[in-house]
Amino acid sequence: MIIAPYTTDAPIYHLPFVTGSLIIANTAIFFATTFQFMRGNIELESLEWLTLQFDTINPIQWITGAFMHGDFMHLIGNMFFLWAFGLVVEGKIGNMRFLVLYMLMAAIDGVAIQLPMFLLGSDSGALGASGVIFALMTIAMLWAPENEMDCFYFVGLYMGTFEVRIVKLAGASMMLQLLFLFLGGFSMSSEMLHIVGAAIGLVFGVYMLRQKMVDCEGWDFISKNEWLQEYSLLCAPADRSKRKQKEADDYNPIKAALAVASQSSANVDQWDRNPAKKTAKETATPVKPRGRLGLLGGLKAKPVSTIETKPDVTSHPDFNRLSFLLRQAIETSSLMMAQQHFSRLDQLKLATGVPDKLLMNYVRLLAAEKLWTQSLRPLSIVAANEGESANQARIRIAQIQFKVSQNPTAAIQTLNRVTVLPNAMTPENTKLVELRDQLLAQAKATQ
């Protein structure tokens, strides 16, 4: 059985120019060296100095060994994995930083293998990019564990595709390497090379997260697992304190979501006296902020005058790109991707510029999964914009206040702001008014 990953749904903020260039370089070197040897045009001895030889210490080989491959299948397999996991890592940190990271990990992997084998007196060698690729796989698992990887599979005459989360794909690969390494007596083998590469990737992945050299928008492995944040090697004490303070500030997610210009301080205070009761679905899907970015953004209330005089957020260099990614995620019903892109927009204070129609489509996507609390933030933005969908947004907010958090007083206050002028009584607005009156009657009856 052969499995080959080929793409991912992880956010790509930088085009993978370096990953593509590395694949071209590996392929070109293969045809200039190994392929020529296979055709009998050059002798093996003329190529050995490029591979990682264990009977010497040669810093040049620490790099060149990572670009040499033994045959076509060795090359093709490595290039599929390099593309898929390079796409994730380069997409997050950018081109030049990825190039430096790749070369540095390749060099460290080379010396970590060559030096001990030289001291043990071995006369064999190693070649291939799999060591640094396993380092990239580990980093991708740390930075984007919940994102999915699309893979080909080949079983005999059967082939097809499937999707799997990065943490599962990488975790299964690591476990297989450890199993084969154990069965082989922990001798020098391709499995040992892979595990060494994974260990190097673990160090770099954690270090870059801890030093804030990469922004995973709160979706990284450490941010998603609170128990890991207790270890200072994985999470800086200052960050740990900020996370705890942020969680304390956002104890009530509904209060945080509704803290926008369209809500008065009196309305917000209602939630302090009656904490929200989450549904089972939302309990299973935490919405408290993790790391730098929370799913609700942790926004504070702003006066109406701030909204009225706000700058044109659509001129921000990231607005069009993030809005396009959000629209694309909604159209393909990719909930997790839509959450990530909306959270990014909200963090950059750009969400208020997203068209109301797109925000309402995002709300429908959240509602399909019964993520009522998360839908409050986009609904509040639509209500504050006072557009055609403002009344519809307020009614949805009131429904959540009344039916989810069981606060009829707050629901009544929200419904009282649903007003329609007599000359605007279209069939759609008539239905909204009827729904408003029905909810008002129900809310007043439970007070």
Q: What is the pLDDT of residues 170-201, one digit of tens each?
A: 999 999 999 999 998 888 888 999 999 999 99
pTM of the model: 0.64
Among candidate residues 35, 99, 105, 106, the one with its CA nearest the CA of residue 65:
106
What does the block give as tokens for 58? 């040669």
The token pair at 426 is 């279209």
Q: In Å, how far are 4, 104, 294 from 76, measured between CA atoms? A: 9, 23, 39
- Could you read off the pLDDT of 13-28 as tens digits, one per residue? 899 999 999 999 999 9
The helix (H) or strand (E) run that includes residue 188 is none
E strand or H helix at 342: helix 335-347
Q: How many CB atoms neighbour CB 93 within 10 A?
A: 19
The letter for the amino acid at 352 is T
CB 151 within 8 A of CB 6: yes
Above 60 in pLDDT, residue 391?
yes
Domain 2-210 part of CATH 1.20.1540.10: yes
Using one digit for the tens of pLDDT, what is the confidence trace for 357-374?
999 999 999 988 888 888
Nearest CA to 136 out of 181, 106, 180, 178 is that of 106
| β-pair partners for 162 | 151
Count H helices, E strands: the chain?
21, 5
- How much is the pLDDT for 372? 86
Alpha carbons 81 and 69: distance in angstroms, whole number:
14
DSSP string, 194-216: HHHHHHHHHHHHHHHHHTT-S--
CATH 1.20.1540.10 range(s) for the chain read 2-210
Question: 208: buried, middle or exposed (CB in 10 Å: 19+, 13-18, 0-12)?
Answer: buried
- Is the four-CA dihedral 204, 206, 210, 213 of positive or negative sign? positive
The CA distance from 113 to 197, in Å, is 10
pLDDT at 401 over 90: no
